[in-house]
Amino acid sequence: MPQGNRPDTLAQYIACPNCDALYTARLPGEGARAICGRCHTVLISTRQSAGVRVLALSTAVLILVIAAVFFPFLEIHAAGLGNRVSLLDVATSFRSGTLVLVSVASVMVIVLVPLMRTALLIYVIAPIELNRPPLRHAKGAFHLAEEMKPWAMTEVFSIGCAVALVKVSDLARLDFGPAFWMFTALSIFVIINDRYLCTWSIWNAIEETE
């Protein structure tokens, strides 16, 4: 994305979030992407109906997060004994001592942070897609959602579960509950949602509709 004449306002600039390279913000053609020339990070991505898709995926993620917490996640059978657990059971398994910090951290990165970030995205994007002015504190809400992104470790939890289940499968019989499949779908939706989400486009939409 070439740099033209110096614009009059800082709003016409865009900085790469990874290497801080500064460019003049220019909207690429439909389906094209503006990429940082230094580190190749995608800066602007234009896709038809991307906002509607992000809103739909965010709503699906919100529903799946809430449902996956309470439905059975896994049932283990070994030596004639069986035990069924949900994500809520796992997250609250340590209630005293120093391990309670593990429980709190698990609840936050598995449930609370993804839930809060998704709710913030819906709060910001829904009025824009309905051609209405942004809701109050939309800028702060979207900024917070972006700050929470590295801490929403849905994919990390999924990979960790996959590795653990492979090891445990040799020792016991595993039956996957509804929450397991919900969380699998949730992880896929989160990845797709982040690919459709264009931060620059949302900031620009908030500025234009205020």
Give pLDDT tens digits for 150-197.
Answer: 887 777 777 777 777 777 777 777 788 888 888 888 888 888 888 888
CB 192 within 8 A of CB 57: yes
User: How far apart, in whole angstroms, are the C-alpha atoms of residue 10 and residue 107?
Assistant: 39
Indicate if 129 and 154 belong to the same structural domain: yes
User: How far apart, in whole angstroms, are the C-alpha atoms of residue 208 and residue 23?
Assistant: 20
User: How far apart, in whole angstroms, are the C-alpha atoms of residue 93 and residue 128?
Assistant: 41
Give pLDDT tens digits for 39-58.
Answer: 877 777 766 677 788 889 89
* Residue span of the structural domain in which 142 resides: 50-209
Angle at 185 between CA 182 and CA 190, to 5 degrees: 120
Indicate if 61 and 30 belong to the same structural domain: no
Q: For residue 7, give the 3-state DSSP assignment.
A: coil
Give pLDDT tens digits for 14-40.
Answer: 777 778 778 777 777 766 777 887 887
Indicate if 95 and 56 belong to the same structural domain: yes
- Residue 73 in tokens: 């996640």
pTM given for the model:
0.74
